[in-house]
Amino acid sequence: MNEPRPPLIKAPDSVWASLEAALNRGEKPRVERTRGRPPVLPLLIGLAAVIAAVGAAVAAYSWARTQKPQWEVVRVEGSPSIGSQRIGDTARIAEGQWLQTDGSSRALLNVGDIGTVQVDPNTRLRIVAARPREQRLALARGGISATVNAPPRLFFVDTASSTAVDLGCAYTMNVDDSGNGVLRVTLGWVSLEWNGRESMVPAGASCLTRRKIGPGMPVFDNATEPLKKAVQSFDFDNGGNGSVDTILNEARVRDTLTLWHLLSRVDSSQRSRVYNRMIALVPLPADLSADKILRLDRQELDRWNQELAWKW
Amino acid sequence: MSVVSLLEKNQAEEGPTPQADTIEACRRGDREAFRALYEAYKDKVYSICLYYFHGDASAAGDAAQQVFLKLIAGIARFRGDSEFSTWLYRLVVNTCTDGSRASRARARRAQAAELDRFPAADSHEDDFARAQQARRVQAALSTLPPKFRLPILLRYFEDLSYEQMASSLNCSMGTVASRLNRGHKLLARKLEGLR
């Protein structure tokens, strides 16, 4: 007999993006119940014990539920859902739960008492940690706008290609199905981190991220288009010396932000060119050592970063 | 074109069976090997999860992610006593069943309004009718009780033998045969209008 066969549905890229992010966080699968068909008699005996314990269990569950770290979710528009359940005007979302919006939905997350996250349409995110010392969500796809007023390194957004570490700021983060993203900072600073690679992004600047590569270099939004394209080419398309030439030619005083990141990402043969361009734009403070900077001494680079930041 | 013929192409879309060295590399924590396993099985795993959860892409994506997390966490314990696919689909069945237990609301029968939750199968825009029929089959399948739905999905997406299905579903071969038979009859009745 010919039988109707259901069509195979392709898994969306967001599944791998979420999976990869989970693996990078060292996440373990949820614990399963023990399986197998238990003997009937022990089951009946156990059932009696279970019934006797129901009252206590319900009380314990209720207590645990109230204690479990949660954020408040406010429906702004449409029908956001937690898991597969559409929410009302407000709801609570706990660690491990997914929040999803469709094309006509928006939501607002109250992140403890430290800030808010606006959730754009077509977004899927999960609450990873909702604790006083760590507030963390994983953005699988879509967009968010975060406004945080808290000590640095308390609020984190994981994606498949970076972790955005809040340093006291407001910003937007957008991620596509493949895990690539873009961060735009509107207030304060954000540190984008990935496998030892770090990009410091101040207000007015943006930074692209790519899966398997991590964050590129930050660029001010009012930089020239050739500079922006050259940075993208250098970061993600093996743009090489041609890209470096364009970046150096197009850089303004403010773009020493990008050059400071470029300094440690070019090979040694190009480093002195970048350095010379930087000191032509902003003279090196007298108490800093050019030798140490060219050797990529971390402390010296950080001190120079702090001086240059006055121009950013 | 009949529904029967237009939906019979799934077997041809199957990916390659993973080689022992891929599984071995995965055991050693090789991320690329894990990616290869994922690529080989992702569509089948996701499809089973999607049908199981009535076309709820969010629940299916979450379940598929859990399956592969369990795979990488437990592959060191996979000793090769059974076929890899049998072991993998046991993870799928357990994960779907657990997901259903965790949210009984998902276990409700699909309503007519939920038909649109299924993504359209691969089809060109000029083949709208074909896509519509395919979606009716998907929806009909999702209304079957889980105990009938899972054997049918395992058979169509992986073509497991009765013995393999019995192992994946943790039941006897006789039970598998019975559920497949009843599942097919139920499905055929729901699709009578399309034949």
DSSP-based three-state secondary structure for A33: coil
Residues of B in contact with A4 (CB under 8 A): 3-4, 7, 137, 187-188, 191, 194
CA distance B74 to chain A (A): 10
Residue B147 amino acid letter = K
Q: Do B138 and A35 touch (CB under 8 A)?
A: no
Residue B106 at interface with chain A, using a CB cutoff of 8 Å: yes
Sign for the pseudo-dihedral over CA of B38, B43, B48, B54: positive
Give the gap in angstroms from C-alpha A88 to the nearest C-alpha of chain B: 16
Q: What is the pLDDT of residues B18-72, one digit of tens each?
A: 677 888 888 888 888 888 889 989 998 998 888 888 777 888 888 899 999 888 8
Residue B175 sits at the chain A interface (C-beta within 8 Å):
no
* Residue A9 to residue B118, Cβ atoms within 8 A: yes
DSSP element (H, E) containing B72: helix B57-74
pLDDT at A39: 59
CA neighbor of B194 nearest in space, from B152, B120, B138, B151: B138
Q: Is A19 on the interface with B (CB under 8 A)?
A: yes
> pLDDT above 70 covers what percent of chain A?
91
Residues from chain A that touch B59, judged by Cβ atoms under 8 A, are 83-84
- B118 interfaces chain A, CB cutoff of 8 Å: yes
In this predicted model, what pLDDT tens digit does every residue of A42-61 receive, in sequence order? Answer: 677 777 788 878 877 777 66
Say if residues A265 and A240 touch (Cβ distance below 8 Å): no
Closest-CA residue of chain B to A3: B4
Q: Which residues in chain A are closer than 8 Å to B153, comparing Cβ atoms?
A: 6
Q: Which of A16, A25, A21 is nearest to A178 (CA)?
A: A16
Q: How far apart are CA A119 and CA A142, in angstroms?
A: 8
Chain A, nearest residue to B157 by Cα: A8
Give the DSSP letter of residue A253. Answer: S
Residue-wise pLDDT for B132-171, tens only, equals 666 777 777 777 888 888 888 888 777 788 888 888 888 8
Instruction: Round to whole Å and give the CA distance between A158 and A215.
Output: 12
Q: What local confidence, expressed as pLDDT, does residue A5 receive? A: 63
Given this model, what pLDDT does residue A99 score? 96
Q: CA B97, CA B70: separation in Å to the nearest integer?
A: 14
Q: What is the pLDDT of residue B112?
A: 37
Q: Is the pLDDT of residue A210 over 60?
A: yes
d(CA B33, CA B24): 9
Question: Which residue among A9, A27, A33 places its CB closest to the CB of B98?
Answer: A33
Measured in residues, chain B has a length of 195
The total of other beta-carbon atoms located within 10 Å of residue A163's CB is 22
Name chain B contacts of A83, Cβ cutoff 8 Å. 58-59, 62, 103
Q: Do A28 and B73 touch (CB under 8 A)?
A: yes
Minimum Cα–Cα distance from B132: chain A residue: A7
Closest residue in B to A80 (Cα–Cα):
B58
CB pairs under 8 A between A and B: 124
> Per 3-state DSSP, what percentage of chain B is helix, strand, and coil (rounded to 5)?
75, 0, 25
- Which residues in chain A touch residue B56, judged by CB atoms under 8 angstroms apart? 84
Please tell me the distance in Å from B20's CA to the nearest CA on chain A.
23
Q: Two tokens at A210?
A: 């790519």
CA distance A205 to chain B (A): 33
Question: Strand pairing of A155-158 and A134-148?
Answer: parallel
Whether chain B has a CB inside 8 Å of the CB on A298: the answer is: no
Shortest CA distance to B139 belongs to which of B100, B105, B113? B113
B4 burial type by CB count under 10 A (0-12 exposed, 13-18 middle, 19+ buried): middle
CA A292 distance to own-chain centroid: 32
The whole-number pLDDT of residue B119 equals: 55
Residue A268 forms contact with B (CB below 8 Å): no
- Which among B50, B56, B137 has CB closest to A9? B50
A25 phi and psi angles, rounded to 5 deg = -85, 0
The whole-angstrom separation of Cα B182 and Cα B174 is: 12
What does the pLDDT read at residue A180? 94
**Of the listed ranges A74-83, B1-10, B91-100, B152-161, the one predicted with least confidence:** B1-10
**Mean predicted confidence (pLDDT) in A240-248:** 93
Q: What pLDDT is attached to residue B5? A: 35
**Residue A241's pLDDT band (cuts 50, 70, 90):** confident
Could you tell me which chain B residue has the CA closest to the CA of A37? B170
How many whole angstroms separate alpha carbon A5 and alpha carbon B10?
7
Residue A4 to residue B53, Cβ atoms within 8 A: no
pTM here? 0.53
